[in-house]
Amino acid sequence: MLVDPNRRSDRPKVSLKRIPVPVARAVVDCGIYRDGQRLAGRFGFAEALAQVRDNEGGFVWLGLHEPDADQMSAVAEVFGLHPLAVEDAVAGRQRPKLERYDDTLVLGLRTVAYVEHDMHSTSEIVLTGEILIFLGPDFVVAVRHGEHSGLRQVRAELEADPDRLRLGPGAVLHAITDHVVDTYLEVVQEIETDVEEMEQEVFSPRSRLAIESIYQLKREIVELRRSVIPLSLPLQSLIRPDSGLSKEVRRYLRDVADHHTTAAERVHDFDDALSALISATLARIAVRQNTDMRRISALVALAAVPTMIAGIYGMNFERMPELKLAWCYPAVLTVMVLACGGLVVIFRRNGWL
């Protein structure tokens, strides 16, 4: 039986209902910290915040990894987060920035990671991610995007230092920021090695480095610069007395700002160095092309002399008296050899061959 393709189906359309994913799927860790120590036990974020506020002491540190809109809305409802900041936490790909919503600070950080690669092939060199930190009087919510931006080590190191934990949520803000800036310095060190290797390769006598590899590294440097340099203004805002952070936390953050300045300056230097390498490579390619053209021109000239002489004597005119002479053939060959030999001497003296 033939079915008319233009006939509309009488079956009702079935709409698939979206099943919400529990918030626990996005929670990496949630802990209550009081007097520099983490309280024993496992807590949901709502239960943890309620316990902190009921006992009027300590703070909650909640870590989330790539939450969706529904999961983040549930967290925002408990902690009282602003909808605009929540939207940024879900969307990701934000520039480093610092914003204040009432008594909550929101700090956006871009994370980076170095990828091992072959210098002679174009590949991804720098991975980027994001951490958005919500800092309140009694809570810290860290939202991560990217697989390389884990904070498990940061939490463990901070839990091993009760004196810093007693500084409150500001200590967590400093620990995360310090960790991110330290990764900037590590990536910068790795890329510095790549730039030095490229410089040696470009200026080596028999370089086989393609200019595409330099462009690739320069593009990755641009991505790194977009992640590192914009963090300067938020850090300067955090170390000001009106930032709302304690004096001791601001001292720690001042050291982070110094490290960040070092990383930013080196990233800027890399960009200039790669621009110089591109110019040097283009100049070297131009010189190589000119050398090749001179060699080709010399070979063409060497071929043109015997061709011209042979062409003249190949016209077969009857009134060419030298054609009848016995010494004509060896004389013509001798002239060809001497002319080509003279051209070879001249071209080699001028560096064309």
Q: How sure is the predictor about 2, in pLDDT bands with cuts at 50, 70 and 90?
A: very low
Q: What is the pLDDT of residues 255-305, one digit of tens each?
A: 999 999 999 999 888 888 888 787 777 777 777 777 778 788 888 877 887
On the question of pLDDT at 14 being above 70, the answer is no
Contact 79/61 with Cβ under 8 angstroms? no
Is the pLDDT at 17 greater than 60? The verdict is no
Share of the chain above pLDDT 90, in %: 36
- Chain segment 307-319, per-residue pLDDT in tens: 887 777 777 666 6
Element (H, E) at 166: none
Q: Please, which pLDDT band fits residue 183 given cuts at 50, 70 and 90?
A: very high
- Amino acid at the residue 116: E
Q: Which of 9-18, 61-70, 88-97, 155-164 shows the lowest per-residue confidence on average (mean pLDDT)?
A: 9-18
Which is nearest to 281 in space by CA: 221, 220, 187, 217? 217
Q: What is the CA radius of gyration of the chain?
A: 36
Pairing assessment for the beta strands 104-114 and 27-34 based on DSSP bridges: unpaired
- Which amino acid is it at 201? E
The yes-or-no verdict on residue 3 having pLDDT over 50 is no
The answer to whether the CB of 85 falls within 8 A of the CB of 51 is: no
Task: Give per-residue pLDDT as tens, 38-82.
Answer: 998 888 989 999 999 888 788 999 999 989 889 999 999 999 999
Q: Distance between CA atoms of 347 and 353, rounded to whole angstroms? A: 6
Q: pTM, whole model, 2 decimals?
A: 0.76
Which tops the pLDDT comparison, 326 or 338?
338
- Candidate from 36-50, 111-125, 158-172 with smallest mean pLDDT: 111-125
Give the pLDDT of residue 220.
84
pLDDT band at 321 (very low <50, low <70, confident <90, very high): low
Q: How far apart are CA 340 and CA 344, in angstroms?
A: 6
DSSP 280: H
pLDDT of residue 1: 42
Which pLDDT score is estimated for 253? 94
Segment 214-218 long-range contacts (CB within 8 Å, at least 24 positions apart) = 214/274, 214/277, 214/278, 214/281, 215/278, 216/122, 216/123, 216/125, 217/125, 217/191, 217/274, 218/271, 218/274, 218/275, 218/278
Q: Tell me: the pLDDT tens digits for 108-119?
A: 999 999 888 776
CA distance 230 to 223: 12
Q: Which residue has the higher pLDDT, 3 or 71?
A: 71
Of residues 210 and 245, more confidence is placed in 245
Long-range contacts of 195-199 (CB under 8 A, 24+ apart): 195/270, 195/273, 195/274, 195/277, 197/119, 198/119, 198/274, 198/277, 199/273, 199/277
Mean pLDDT, all residues of the chain:
83
pLDDT of 209: 63
Q: Are 80 and 60 in contact (CB under 8 A)?
A: no
Cα separation, 121 vs 212, whole angstroms? 8
- Mean pLDDT across 112-136: 83
pLDDT of the residue at 212: 76
Edge to edge, what strands does the sheet with 59-65 contain? Answer: 37-38, 27-34, 59-65, 139-145, 126-136, 104-114, 97-101
pLDDT of res. 26: 85
3-class SS at 208? coil
> Which pLDDT score is estimated for 33?
93
Q: What pLDDT sits at residue 130?
A: 92
